[in-house]
Amino acid sequence: MLKFNQRHNINTDLIRRIINVIETNRLILKPLTYQQMLQYIKNDNSLEAELELNNASMVLSPPLIEALEQAILPSLLDENINHLFSTLWTVIDKNENRSVADVCFQGEPNEQGEIEIGYGTYDQNQGKGYMTEAVQGMINWAVKQEKVKAIVASTDKTNVASFTILEKNSFKKVGESETQFNWRLAVNL
């Protein structure tokens, strides 16, 4: 019986990884595991090799690496947290078989059922509509999650491309600070 349970757990993990892929017209969005996040941070093309992708050229800033190490990696080790709300999803162009961007939710839904989305397109892939399509894919996934009632985001006031992505995906501006706009999209009401 123990061997069956161990085998069952392996199969369940495999099934979970296969199911948790989001597909849009041009893109595949794949959530990264803890081990894959370590490869992502190394930025040595080992992640692309594992995922059988063509090499991508992304630049990871020291503040981004620090945020990944202090927020995402610990979350992925916590068995009480749904890692799909706490990891990077790599955005893969199907035709090029290459990662072109990343998107994530910044934790599980809060008491109001809100999740915060964050995203970034690699420099050489900006202006091609990847992120508008990827955010739509994430919205489509999020509306199927029973505890999610709204998706929120913050953008720098000067980052027109970033808030245009949100506007194209029906987010509404709900507030602002001196430097940022705050956005919200109600779902599952």
24, HSE (Cβ side, Cα atoms, 13 Å): 20
Closest of 169, 160, 108 to residue 139, by C-alpha: 169
Q: Where are the alpha helices (DSSP H) in 91-147?
A: 130-142
Q: What is each CA distance from 153 to 36, 91, 95, 167, in whole angstroms?
A: 25, 19, 29, 11
Q: Which two tokens stand for residue 61?
A: 């800033």
Q: What is the pLDDT of residues 59-114, one digit of tens each?
A: 888 888 888 899 899 999 998 989 999 999 999 999 999 999 999 999 999 999 99
Look at 11 and 37; give whichever has higher pLDDT: 37
pLDDT of residue 6: 41
Residue 134 exposed, middle or buried by CB count within 10 Å (0-12, 13-18, 19+): buried
Q: Which fold has domain 2-186?
A: Aminopeptidase (3.40.630)
| Residue 186 clears pLDDT 90, i.e. is over it | yes
C-alpha 185/C-alpha 145 separation (Å) is 15
What backbone phi and psi angles, to 5 degrees, belong to 103?
Answer: -140, 155
In contact, 101 and 122? CB cutoff 8 Å = yes
Instruction: Show the CA angle centred on residue 182, arms to residues 20 and 149, nearest 5°.
Output: 45
57, HSE (Cβ side, Cα atoms, 13 Å): 4
| Residue 8 clears pLDDT 80, i.e. is over it | no
Using the CB atoms, write b or e for 112-130: b if 16+ within 10 Å. ebbbbbebbbbeebeeeeb
Q: What is the pLDDT of residues 30-73, one digit of tens each?
A: 999 999 999 999 999 999 999 999 998 888 888 888 888 998 99
- Ranges of beta strands (E only) in 26-157 are 27-31, 88-93, 98-105, 114-121, 150-156
Q: What is the pLDDT of residues 117-171, one digit of tens each?
A: 999 999 999 999 999 999 999 999 999 998 999 999 999 999 999 999 999 999 9
Look at 76 and 1; give whichever has higher pLDDT: 76
Closest of 10, 102, 96 to residue 53, by C-alpha: 96
Domain residue ranges of the chain, discontinuous segments joined by +: 2-186
